[in-house]
Structure 1
Amino acid sequence: MEKHELKRRLGLIDATSLVAGSMIGSGIFLVTSAMARDVGSAAWILVLWFITGLLTMSAALSYGELAGMMPNAGGQFVYIQRAYGKLVSFLYGWTVFTVIQTGVIAAVAVAFANYTAVFFPVLEQKIFAYESFVFTNKQILAILSIFLLTYINTRGVQNGKIIQLVFTSAKLIALFALIILGLYVGLQSEVLTANFASAWDAKKTVQNDGTLTVSLLSGVALLGVMGATIINPLFSSDAWNNVTFIAGEIKDPKRNIPRSLFLGTLIVTIIYLLANVAYLSLLPLNGSPDGTTVMERGIMFASEDRVGAAAASVIMGNVGVLVMAGLIMVSTFGCNSGLILSGGRLFYAMAQDGLFFKKAGELNDKEVPARALWVQAVWASFLCMTGKYGDLLTYATFASLLFYILTIGGLFILRKREPDAERPYKAFGYPFVPLLYMVITAAICVALLVYDTRNAGLGLGIVALGVPVYYLFLKKKL
């Protein structure tokens, strides 16, 4: 019987495309609206995006050392296991499977369907409704997109590579066009000047039963709210670590993974900052939820938080909404291709270790872990049907931050435990940059526990639930 194994077919450009493509989904077009309501300040919004970029790049540079030491399929799962042992690595894999990877795939698929409905209103039609549960044609399209992309990725890594390159290139070009046109049009008006007239005056705006409550923020209160609302840009910048999952298929991984992590996160950080400057050049920060035009509603109350669509409509009129819908369709479809491609490799690595379904650890005749990909697709599709993906994302991001801290902590453990291990690349600014990342991210987690106790608590609960499941897998293995 022929033995199938992972083949190294992906180069630096492919790996960088996966990093950037997995990061850019729908978040950059939506979350600035929520951030505007939380901090109400143009300067603080840009500061939050800047801090997010620095955190993401510093984490990516730290992961580069671990990737060089362990260029194997499974990435972060493998790093955590080497530093902390099987239980902690299983809890990471368990959380990725239950909510982080599959939850993001479900949410991105539904975002793709939501924007497809702009062109095909029949997708809004309800199929079934019971109390708060609603099942529509959009959810069917979301599930079909997951299954289509999963099928394409089971036919070989080359197919996934082509989709990733094409869609990532398309959305990068479109985003740069939006930024350039936005700045060109916006800078001819007084909007940016007005938004920065009181740039550092922070305030939180809450809408409740048609009444707006505005609270001025400063000192500890401001830091707390910033620590909680930074979850928005952090979610938009997440999934950069997915490239480590497919380390077994990257050429010269000891060099190319660290490089791709840095290049991909740098490109996306620049794009995100420029996109927000473009928004602030085109739209007033403040607005009214009862406004009838995009200018009256502003960034703060953009319709359904679609600040990207509102900005595009300023540039191109009503056709801008359609253009933006098309851009987000391209963005989310390409994003999900990368998430689906990489997630299956993590579950393959877990199965190889006896910590996931045994069949998920097998490769098909295309040297792809097809069964792992299909298990991922089925669970992600279930999350599409439940309609709970929004909540899942909130507490999944909290859980994800915890494991980022743990993984970078593993850098210190392995430096001490294995001082002579081969390290083709060493973490930039060690120990200060990794330590600073851990301290700042831990502070963000504390702020989330204080200001969003329910969702942060659920994130911890999901991680804890993995403990009995781990011992069930051990028992089955024995």
Structure 2
Amino acid sequence: MANQAVQVEHLERGMGLWGALAANLLNMVGVGPFLTIPLAIAAMGGPQAMLGWMLGAVLALCDGMVWAELGSQMPDSGGSYHYLLQAFNPHGAGRLISFLFLWQSLLIGPISIASGAVGFAEYSGVFHSFTHLQLKLVAMALCLLNLGVLYRSIHSIGTLSVIVMVAVVGTCGWIIVSGATHFHPSLAFDFPPAAFHPSHAFWLGLGSAVLIAIYDYGGYNNVCLIGGEIKDPRRNIPRAVLLSIVVVGVLYMAMNIAVLGVLPWRSAQHSTAIVADFMYAIHGSWAARAVSILILIASWGSAYAILLGYSRIPYAAAADGRFPKIFARVHPRGHFPTTSLIYMGIGSAVMCVFSLSDLISALIVIQTLLQSIAQCIAVLLLRRRSGAATDVFRMPFYPLPAIIALVGWVYIVATSQIKHIAAGIALAVTGIAFYLIQANREREWPFRQA
């Protein structure tokens, strides 16, 4: 930690709206929805799991408005690091709160990337029966491959993102059309007795389903993490955030209904490759293999996009003098952060030793505790200061979307497992301790001398 920003070379604004939208969509449409549909069905015990997907979409849209407003107001790489620092006073508590975001990102970034890689490895089991160790090695290899792919200029990355995005959206379209032409309402709406009875089990199950849904919707903020590399950012960042949520929300709801209208939910909740089973039931083995290949491409693209976004966070903090300056290094020709990218790539490979379910739960709960809740408050504080500025995006129906998002995040945490809540609290406590030690050494807030 240092008192003054280090001298670094700026990143290049080389990605337009389509590249930004693709970076979000690739992050959002990974292997998640193709693996987690059975988890959501099991959590609620029937097709009423669609309620979890609907509430997840509402939460994502409301939280997306928070990101869109903050991203438009402060269009720099690093996202929440800048938002929290400015909202909570850059000369006071904002230093601690923004540091906690950075602190959790050093863990959450690798976890998020690893979840996509582990999902890729598990879905690859459709083609070959891997041992547990082999699956982990496949996931680790994917993380290192993406590190190599991203070690280049943002221009070529934007082009590649658009190409993979087309393949991803095409896959979702094939699934939806196949389901629509073979849809059976009696299967899709085969609700068990008391499916919507508001019992304790119902609320816990709904919380789990929303957690799963928000993981699959997650990624709409990716463009904010690379804000310093987006052209015309005050317009393109909000557009990319909100358009990606709408597109993915429609795709996910349609895919879920399509699958539930073809496969009986009582067997579907136990499937390990539900979309392959779905396509096999409609078109046969060739379709199951083909869609599995496309899903693997989508999951690779997701892990790749997540690594792209998170690799900019340590860079942003180091460029601001809040993190070791080695993380502020920029490639002399490609103009991308090198050390930060390498750290996230190798860190994600290490995190692949954990299971997908643990990675998902830990990711959402820790991120909510140390970032999402604080950010909903941050947008309220910043709006109060900025007043009626007209040159940036302003969320409609303010402050309702921010309040809905805040309530949703609190509900998810309240219905989560104690071990993941404890992990988030432990991470916060260690981060606070580390910050205070460093702040005392550097005579920064709250130890700054008058």
- Does residue 126 of structure 2 align to residue 159 of structure 1? no
Matched, 1:462 2:431: no
Match of 1:333 among 280, 296, 300: 300
Please give the residue correspondences for 1:52-131 in structure 2 after superposition, counting only pairs within 5 Å: 52-84=56-88, 85-98=94-107, 100-121=108-129, 124-125=130-131
Partner of 1:28: 33
C-alpha contact 1:72 1:248 (8 A) present in aligned 2: yes
Residue 17 of structure 1 deviates from its aligned partner by 1.0
CA distance in 1, matches of 2:406, 2:83: 16
Q: Which residue of 2 aligns with 1:404?
A: 372
Cα distance per residue 1:163-220 (max 9 Å; x no partner): 21111110110111111012212x2xxx4324424477328xxxxxxxxxxxxx5344
Three-state SS of the structure 1 residue aligned to 2:282 is: helix
Q: Give 1:473 deviation, angstroms.
A: 4.7
Aligned residue type for 1:23? M
Shift of 1:371: 1.0
Contact 2:366 2:420 in 1 (8 A): no
Give the equivalent residue in structure 1 for 2:240: 260
The equivalent of 2:211 in structure 1 is 231
* C-alpha separation in 2, matches of 1:173 and 1:275: 12
Moved runs in structure 1, 4+ residues, more than 4 A?
Answer: 420-423, 472-478
* TM-score between the two structures when normalised by the length of structure 1: 0.84
CA drift at 1:397:
0.5
Counterpart residue type for residue 103 of structure 2:
W
Task: Structure 1 unaligned segments of length 5 or more: list them.
Answer: 126-133, 204-216, 287-297
Change (3 A) 1:419 1:142: same
In structure 1, the residue corresponding to 2:347 is in which secondary structure?
helix
Shift in Å, 1:223: 2.2
User: Given that residues 43 and 205 in structure 2 are in contact (C-alpha distance below 8 angstroms), is that contact kept between their aligned partners in structure 1?
Assistant: yes
Out of 50, 53, 60, the position equivalent to 2:54 is 50
**In the alignment, structure 1 residue 271 sits paired with structure 2 residue 251:** yes
Alignment of 1:57-456 (within 5 A): 57-84=61-88, 85-98=94-107, 100-121=108-129, 124-125=130-131, 136-185=133-182, 187=183, 191-198=184-191, 201-202=194-195, 218-286=198-266, 298-302=267-271, 304=272, 306-365=273-332, 366-384=334-352, 386-387=353-354, 390-402=357-369, 403-419=371-387, 423-448=391-416, 452-456=417-421
Q: Which runs of 5+ in 2 are unaligned?
A: 1-6, 89-93, 444-450
Q: Tell me if structure 2 keeps the 8 A contact 1:362–1:371.
A: yes
CA contact (8 A) 2:238 2:393 kept: yes
Amino acid at match of 1:145: L
Could you tell me how far apart the structure 2 residues matched to 1:432 and 1:196 are?
Answer: 32
Inter-CA distance 338–477: structure 2 relative to 1 (3 Å threshold): farther
Tell me the equivalent position of 1:292: none
Question: Residue 15 of structure 1: CA displacement?
Answer: 0.9
Distance 1:120 1:197 in 2: 34
Deviation, 1:282, is 0.7
1:282 counterpart SS class? coil
**Does structure 1 retain, via aligned residues, the 8 Å contact 2:185–2:261?**
yes
Query: Using the alignment, how far apart are the partners of 1:446 and 1:230 within structure 2?
Result: 12
CA RMSD of aligned residues (A): 2.2
Q: CA deviation at 1:444?
A: 2.5
Distance 1:316 1:463 in 2: 50
| Structure 1 residue 380 displacement after superposition | 1.0
Deviations 1:89-147 (A, max 9, x none): 1111221221x2211211211222333344355xx25xxxxxxxx6x233333222222
